[in-house]
Amino acid sequence: MRTQAAVAHERGGAFVIEDVDLDDPRPGEVLVRVLASGICQTDLHARDGYFPIPHPGVYGHEGVGIVERLGAGVTRVREGDRVVMFAPSCGACPNCDARRPAYCLRHLALKMNGVRADGSPTLRQGGRPLGGAFFQQSSLARHALATERNVVRVDGDIPAQVLAALPCGVNTGAGAVVNVLGVRPGMSIAIVGVGAVGMAALLAAREAGCGPIVAVDVRESRLALARELGATDAIDATRGDFAAALAAMTGGRGVEGLIDTSGVPENVQRGVASLAMPGTYVLVGSVRPGIAASFDMTTLQNGRTIRGCIQGGGEPETFIPSLVARYRAGRFPVDRLVTTYRFEDIERAASDLASGAAIKPVIVMD
């Protein structure tokens, strides 16, 4: 079918809305008319060549829309269902069998190679294949092909622009707190970098009754919002070493949990040094392959832990509906993070994301 998509023709180039040809859904696939799609640093990193998806390419991995057609054998959703599209998984590896789809052994190939799992393209332009199937959706378009495994049905009472904040950034931040740290009331936590992922982590920590909750960032506007949303303390990282500030706040003990969304190598050392004994440092920031970080090995003694986290570490099929329920109940005001843009204004959305002017840009198609 003919539709429109935001095409990046070269590394670091502009998003240009153009006509493209999208395949019909094959067995196990779902054709979705996109209502809204979040845009995050992962999309910009793909555009800028961090990942193997080829150029020209179509990105977007936080799509929300209406199911228009089903491929053969699809049973989880029906035509007319409203769905959220999230990160794909193969469903056949040991980690998928163990209900840990975030750590699917094929996750990078399914997300980043620009083609279906079988190597075939989903998008073409002028008869030539485009890099598509980004996170098995490429949802910065008016229509997207997803797989049955990476869609979940949601009720229609939540605005599409709110739902589009959930699949990656919010799922990752909240999941890192709930699924990885396993927070409890009274647990001390610091969040380094309070963009969309960090703010979601903050909201989850607040809901769990953590305290103190310390937000660390270089932008005062984000620190101010973090305070409004539940941070008990805030540290301006431009004014010195946040590890020293956290030590002073905690009487030298450190924090029991630290979520680092910054992707800054120096912050690994600072973050680990900020941990209590025992304590857990969780890295969720998106970084270019090959970037290295160092830390003093003695900081791992006495039970400290360093670990990474992909897509919140949980099962999106169940965790995303739980986030919707939290929002509906007024306990998770993710709408406070969202700035909406028309499809035609996608370049402004990308610029505002890169500059920090917007925390969670969401492209609204209609």
Q: What is the pLDDT of residue 354?
A: 93
186 sits in the region (left: phi over 0; alpha: psi -120 to 50; else beta) called left
The predicted model scores a pTM of 0.94
Tokens of 58: 């179509």
Name residue 196's amino acid.
Answer: A
On whether the CB atoms of residues 168 and 314 are closer than 8 A, the answer is no
Fold entry, domain 2-164+333-364 = Quinone Oxidoreductase; Chain A, domain 1 (3.90.180)
On whether the CB atoms of residues 209 and 185 are closer than 8 A, the answer is yes
Q: DSSP secondary-structure letter at 25? A: P
Q: Coil, strand or helix: which one is 339?
A: strand
Q: What is the pLDDT of residue 297?
A: 83
Q: What is the pLDDT of residue 303?
A: 87
What one-character-per-residue DSSP string does 212-272 give? SEEEEES-HHHHHHHHHHT-SEEEEGGGS-HHHHHHHHTTT--EEEEEE-S--HHHHHHHH
Domain segments of the chain: what residues?
A: 2-164+333-364, 173-310
Who contacts 97 (Cβ-Cβ below 8 Å, separation ≥6)?
A: none
Question: pLDDT 10s per residue in the chain (366 long)?
Answer: 999 999 999 999 999 999 999 999 999 999 999 999 999 999 999 999 988 899 999 999 999 999 999 999 999 999 999 999 999 999 999 999 999 999 999 999 999 999 999 999 999 999 999 999 999 999 999 999 999 999 999 987 899 999 999 999 999 999 999 999 999 999 999 999 999 999 999 999 999 999 999 999 999 999 999 999 999 999 999 998 999 999 999 999 999 999 999 988 888 889 999 999 999 999 997 777 788 888 888 878 788 999 999 999 999 999 999 999 999 999 999 999 999 999 999 999 999 999 999 999 999 998
Name residue 199's amino acid.
Answer: M
β-strand partners of 34: 65
What is the CA 311 to chain-centroid distance, rounded? 6
Q: Select from 186, 184, 131 the least CA-distant residue to 5.
A: 131
CATH code of the domain occupying 173-310 = 3.40.50.720
d(CA 115, CA 123): 9
d(CA 201, CA 199): 5
d(CA 68, CA 30): 8
> What is the chain's Cα-based Rg?
20
Q: Coil, strand or helix: which one is 290?
A: coil
d(CA 9, CA 16): 8
**E strands in 148-254:** 151-153, 189-192, 213-217, 233-236
Taking CA atoms, 10 is separated from 20, 55, 119, 123, 206, in Å, by 16, 6, 22, 16, 42
